């Protein structure tokens, strides 16, 4: 009997230890960026494709070429209220003291420089696809932007979601590192997949979520409730969206739909970002959307 | 006596408040949506020329661009009465944020008007396309904070 209890206690301890190991924040190897030469000019394109400014500029600030990424925008959710942090190059309140590996760990593993899990409101579920070259270029570009010493504001997240380690469990369950479109038939579709599923993190709004806030990959791009108010984010899968590839590329450039209505809400910012990318990238996004299974 | 007076004041206030509560914004909403529809129709004509799906036609360009100029001169003040936002009434995507800063709406509308002369001056699909891109940016600049997704 005593033996059985000891065995049971041991089993529980092992499970707890296993849990701790499994939910441990991951990190890139130290040498990951050895041999990668950063180019801030190329980083600008990574920056706009990733839409960093859309969430990290101050609330209600106008679009500019050199945004101040002071944070402060509020993102309500079923789990609490998240506030975008300061990611300007201020060394104390922003990311000015971050190494390129710190940015890589944040984007690819969703882990902060001090080894804590980020909440997936920061879309590392998409950013994990970012190439190390693009991380390095983006890091170099971010450091060229204007610094701002405003402290970041804390999230308002209640129990049990305020246990950061629990995010490790969430990652185990929902952080899928494979692409949804498994077969990119052409280099253009491959580029589009990188832009849509990766940097552009389009699914964050265009795909519905399950009860724990994870994207429902079976309903990929089939539209979802607007996370920040009334209305719905439209479906953009090829069955729902009848626009031609040219229509989609033109929309991403100008914000005009084929009926010459104009993008609203957060999508207006996305258009502002994509308008700064090469035409080939907008066409790649269009090609990807048309390549999705119907 | 005091109670009676209070009751009287209250009922007078209620009477005064009643028309406000029942206020019908449909005229203002139809008018503002109508002007956007006129914009969309003419942007569609111009956009077809810019994209090359319809032949470039200088006379048609002038008609549509002049229409945009005319729309840009419509005074927006009476079209956006307070309380006609998407939280308060059906049939609009206008966000309450508009009324937090009404002057901003005026500035954004003026920016649209300022982008129209380049459309009027366009001489080929390329210059027209660039001018329409600038128009689109002024649409987005306002829709960003003021219009809910459809």
Rg over alpha carbons for chain B, rounded to the nearest Å, is 21
- A42-78 pLDDT, tens digit per residue, is 999 999 999 999 999 999 787 789 999 999 999 999 8
Burial class (CB in 10 A: 0-12, 13-18, 19+), A248: buried
* The pLDDT of residue B4: 52
Contact yes or no for A245/B46 (Cβ under 8 A):
no
Average of per-residue pLDDT across A163-186:
94
Average pLDDT, rounded, for chain B:
87
* The pLDDT of residue A103: 98
* The pLDDT of residue A264: 81
Which residues of chain B are within 8 Å of residue A260 when distances are taken between CB atoms? 39-41, 43-44, 47
Average of per-residue pLDDT across A14-35:
80
* The pLDDT of residue A12: 57
Of the pLDDT bands very low, low, confident and very high (cuts 50, 70, 90), residue B13 is very low
* The pLDDT of residue B14: 45
Please tell me the least confidently modeled range out of A164-168, B17-21, B101-105.
Answer: B17-21
Contact check, Cβ <8 Å, B97/A259: no
Whether ipTM > 0.85 holds is no
* The pLDDT of residue B15: 45
Q: What's the rounded Cα separation, in Å, for the pair A90 and A97?
A: 8
* The pLDDT of residue B23: 76
Sequence-ordered list of residues with C-beta below 8 angstroms from that of B52, at least 6 positions apart, any chain: B125
Contact check, Cβ <8 Å, A234/B149: yes
Which residue carries 């954004």 as its tokens? B108
In the Cβ-directed half-sphere of B106, how many Cα atoms lie within 13 Å?
8
Nearest to A175, CA basis, from A215, A207, A210: A215
Q: Which two tokens stand for residue B142?
A: 């306002």
Contact yes or no for A92/A104 (Cβ under 8 A):
no
Beta strands in chain A (DSSP E): 74-77, 80-83, 156-157, 224-225, 232-233
Answer yes or no: is pLDDT of A282 > 90: yes
Contacts 24+ apart (CB under 8 A), B62-70: B62/B120, B65/B116, B65/B119, B65/B120, B65/B122, B66/B120, B67/B38, B67/B42, B68/B39, B68/B42, B68/B43, B68/B116, B68/B119, B68/B135, B69/B113, B69/B116, B69/B117, B69/B120
Write the DSSP string, A233-278.
EPP-STTT----HHHHHHHHHH-B-TT--B--THHHHHHHHHTTS-
* The pLDDT of residue A2: 66
**Segment holding A41, helix H or strand E:** helix A40-50
Contact check, Cβ <8 Å, A263/B143: yes
Hey, of A256, A267, A269, A276, which one would you mutate to test binding to chain B, going by the most B CBs within 10 A of its CB? A256
Contact yes or no for A86/A148 (Cβ under 8 A):
yes
Contact check, Cβ <8 Å, A260/B43: yes
**In the beta sheet, which residues pair with residue A256?**
A262
Q: Which of A229, A255, A259 minimises the CB distance to B140?
A: A255
Contact check, Cβ <8 Å, A266/B149: yes
Which residues of chain A are within 8 Å of residue B146 when distances are taken between CB atoms? 264
Q: Which two tokens stand for residue B1?
A: 């006596």
Q: What's the rounded Cα separation, in Å, for the pair B117 and B137?
A: 15
* The pLDDT of residue B141: 87
* The pLDDT of residue B5: 57
Q: Which of A229, A232, A255 minimises the CB distance to B139?
A: A255
Which residues of chain A are within 8 Å of residue B93 when distances are taken between CB atoms? 231, 264
């Amino acid at each position: 009997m005593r033996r059985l209890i000891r065995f049971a206690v041991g089993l529980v301890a092992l499970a707890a230890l296993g849990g701790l190991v499994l939910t441990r924040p991951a990190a890139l190897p130290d040498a990951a960026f050895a041999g990668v030469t950063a180019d801030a000019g190329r980083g600008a394109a990574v920056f706009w494709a990733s839409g960093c400014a859309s969430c990290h500029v101050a609330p209600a600030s106008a679009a500019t070429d050199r945004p101040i990424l002071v944070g402060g925008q509020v993102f309500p959710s079923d789990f609490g209220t998240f506030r975008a942090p300061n990611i300007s190059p201020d060394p104390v309140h922003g990311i000015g003291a971050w190494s390129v590996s710190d940015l890589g760990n944040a984007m690819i593993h969703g882990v902060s420089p001090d080894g804590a899990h980020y909440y997936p409101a920061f879309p590392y579920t998409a950013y994990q696809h970012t190439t190390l070259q693009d991380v390095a270029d983006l890091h170099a570009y971010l450091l060229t932007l204007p610094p701002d010493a405003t402290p970041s504001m804390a999230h308002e997240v209640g129990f049990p979601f305020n246990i950061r380690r629990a995010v490790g469990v969430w990652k185990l369950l929902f952080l899928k590192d494979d692409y949804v479109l498994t077969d990119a038939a052409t280099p253009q579709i491959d580029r589009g997949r990188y832009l849509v599923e990766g940097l552009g993190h389009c699914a964050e709004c265009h795909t519905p979520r399950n009860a724990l806030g994870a994207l429902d990959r079976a309903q990929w791009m089939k539209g979802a409730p607007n996370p920040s108010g009334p209305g719905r984010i439209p479906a953009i899968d090829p069955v729902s969206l009848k626009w031609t590839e040219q229509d989609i590329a033109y929309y991403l450039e100008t914000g005009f739909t084929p009926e010459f209505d104009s993008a609203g809400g957060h999508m207006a910012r996305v258009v502002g970002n994509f308008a700064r990318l090469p035409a080939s990238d907008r066409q790649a996004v269009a090609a990807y959307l048309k390549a999705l299974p119907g | 006596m005091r109670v009676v007076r209070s009751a009287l004041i209250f009922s007078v206030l209620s009477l005064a408040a009643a028309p406000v509560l029942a206020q019908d914004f449909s005229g203002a909403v139809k008018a503002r949506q109508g002007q956007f529809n006129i914009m969309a129709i003419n942007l569609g004509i111009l956009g077809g020329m810019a994209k090359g799906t319809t032949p470039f036609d200088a006379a048609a360009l002038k008609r549509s661009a002049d229409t945009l100029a005319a729309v840009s001169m419509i005074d927006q003040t009476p079209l956006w009465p307070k309380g006609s936002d998407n939280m308060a009434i059906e049939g609009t995507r206008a966000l309450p944020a508009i009324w937090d800063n009404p002057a901003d709406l005026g500035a954004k509308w003026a920016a649209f008007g300022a982008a129209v002369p380049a459309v009027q001056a366009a001489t080929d699909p390329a210059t027209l396309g660039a001018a329409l891109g600038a128009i689109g940016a002024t649409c987005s600049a306002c829709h960003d904070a003021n219009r809910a997704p459809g």
